[in-house]
């Protein structure tokens, strides 16, 4: 049984159930090494951790709004566990130390990315070189999306060496019988951090345009917290004749299904998201999704004209799409049903299977290269 070490920044709630399933596999001996308990901008409440894990001493630096981890002690953590395969989910210095450990010990290193060509378009020359260096020495690769597969292809990685471990949620929690009687109180819902990159102010603009064209006041539920709270309250007050806005603040995971179910449409006007798990949540709750093309879920989970609309950040264009659904209950419900169908394959079992398959592939590839002995067909 190969020993697998996952070296990751922090324990995100949507990955822990996946790691639990990998640990429960009869084929893998797993240990997860976290660089910290949580990054400073996260307010996550976590599900139960059922796998072997370790938290390194935190060494976090804020560089232009990005958190950089520099934990040399990952080398000692790997030495104690002595894995056959190491999976790293980024290119922080801590990941590079782990990669160096595998090179010195002649173990397999498997890159794992949530990124896409779009999300990495602005990388510097040194960052691109690091990826080329790592990818040239890796026997297997893990991507969260088809966009990630295209990213690997861009670096010359062959398709047969790539495995997918999708970003996902507990879909069943969003469609439980207890939620079926939930009334649609709000026309719109926005859920996410109230930060400029997420464009929560754009959501208010879209709602106002809809109100003007529908000739009635519309309503929107704003879920989340962040640096824009004060300015959003000011904007909402200025638009009070057109829109009713409710700010619910940060919501715990168990509160989210009811909140999504209370709305008719989900607005996701992000300026940059490698995927956007909030789109999974909205789909699982049976909502149509209006999404920008700057989210990885656009075109893969959200299909234009099927379960939502993909539009550039133009408030009039978004209002056009929203009104088409708000004025046609049958069409809106059909879009919501498509959302639930499309999100079903994005589940914890599929995501865990991608990690397990990549680990076994890397382990046997490395074993064969060292022993020159092939496995029986």
Helix axes 229-238, 200-214, angle to 10 degrees: 10
Between residues 224 and 179, which one has the greater pLDDT?
224
Q: What is the pLDDT of residue 13?
A: 87
User: Tokens 């829109």 map to which residue?
Assistant: 243
Q: Which residues pair with 246 in a beta bridge?
A: 221
Kindly state the percentage of the chain with pLDDT values over 70: 97
What φ, ψ does residue 226 adopt, rounded to 5°?
160, -175
Examine domains 3-168+347-371 and 172-343 and report if their fold is the same.
yes
Q: What is the pLDDT of residue 370?
A: 59
Q: What is the pLDDT of residue 45?
A: 76
What is the domain partition of the chain in residue ranges?
3-168+347-371, 172-343
Rounded average pLDDT over 243-264: 95
Rounded average pLDDT over 234-254: 96
Query: What are the CA-CA distances from residue 86 to residues 100, 102, 360 (Å)?
Result: 11, 7, 12
Provide the 10 A C-beta neighbour count for residue 170: 17
The CATH number corresponding to 172-343 among 3.30.390.10, 3.40.50.300, 3.40.190.10, 3.40.50.2000 equals: 3.40.50.2000
Question: Helical H runs in the chain?
Answer: 16-24, 74-81, 93-105, 125-136, 146-154, 200-214, 229-238, 256-261, 277-284, 315-326, 329-343, 348-371
19-66 residue pLDDT tens: 999 999 988 999 999 999 887 767 677 889 999 999 999 998 888 778
Provide the 10 A C-beta neighbour count for residue 181: 7
CATH topology of domain 3-168+347-371: Rossmann fold (3.40.50)
pLDDT of 170 above 80: yes
User: How is the beta sheet containing 243-249 ordered, strand by strand?
Assistant: 243-249, 218-223, 186-191, 263-268, 289-291, 308-310
pLDDT band at 369 (very low <50, low <70, confident <90, very high): low
Q: What is the pLDDT of residue 377?
A: 35
CB neighbours of 56 closer than 8 A, spacing ≥ 6? 33, 34, 35, 36, 71, 73, 74, 77, 94
User: Tokens 């690769």 map to which residue?
Assistant: 141
pLDDT of 316 above 70: yes
CA triple 358-42-245, angle to 5 deg: 120
Q: What is the pLDDT of residue 180?
A: 81
N- to C-terminal Cα separation, the chain: 19
Are 86 and 92 a contacting pair, CB within 8 Å?
Answer: no
91-125 residue pLDDT tens: 999 999 999 999 999 999 999 999 998 889 888 99
């Amino acid at each position: 049984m190969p020993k697998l070490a996952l070296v990751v920044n922090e324990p995100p709630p949507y990955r822990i159930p996946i790691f639990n399933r990998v640990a429960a596999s009869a084929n893998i001996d797993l240990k997860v090494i976290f660089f910290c308990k949580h990054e400073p901008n996260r307010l996550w409440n976590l599900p139960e951790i059922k796998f072997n894990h370790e938290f390194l001493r935190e060494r976090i630096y804020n560089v232009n709004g990005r958190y950089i981890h520099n934990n040399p002690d990952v080398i000692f953590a790997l030495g104690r566990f002595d894995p056959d395969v190491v999976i790293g989910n980024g290119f922080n210095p801590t990941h590079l130390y782990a990669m160096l450990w595998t090179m010195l010990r002649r173990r397999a290193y498997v890159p794992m990315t949530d990124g896409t060509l779009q999300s990495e378009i602005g990388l510097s020359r040194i960052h691109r070189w690091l990826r080329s260096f790592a990818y040239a020495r890796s026997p297997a690769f893990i991507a969260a999306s088809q966009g990630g597969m295209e990213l690997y292809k861009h670096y010359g990685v062959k398709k047969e060496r790539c495995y997918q471990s999708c970003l996902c949620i507990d879909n069943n929690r969003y469609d439980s019988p207890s939620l079926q009687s939930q009334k649609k109180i709000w026309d719109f819902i926005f859920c996410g951090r109230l930060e400029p990159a997420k464009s929560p102010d754009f959501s208010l603009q879209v709602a106002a345009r809809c109100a003007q064209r529908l000739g009635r006041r519309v309503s929107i539920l704003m879920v989340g917290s962040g640096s824009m709270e004060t300015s959003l309250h000011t904007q909402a007050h200025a638009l009070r004749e057109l829109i009713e806005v409710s700010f619910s603040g940060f919501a715990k995971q168990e509160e989210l299904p009811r909140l999504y179910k209370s709305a008719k449409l989900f607005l996701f006007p992000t300026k940059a998201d490698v995927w956007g798990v909030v789109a999974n949540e909205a789909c699982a709750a049976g909502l149509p999704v209006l999404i920008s093309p700057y989210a990885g879920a656009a075109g893969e989970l959200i299909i234009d004209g099927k379960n939502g609309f993909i539009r550039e950040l133009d408030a009039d264009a978004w209002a056009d799409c929203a009104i088409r659904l708000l004025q046609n209950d049958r069409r809106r419900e059909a879009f919501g049903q498509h959302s639930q169908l499309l999100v079903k394959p994005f589940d914890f079992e599929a995501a865990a299977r991608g990690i397990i398959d990549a680990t076994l592939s890397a382990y046997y590839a490395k074993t064969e290269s060292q022993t020159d002995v092939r496995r029986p067909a």
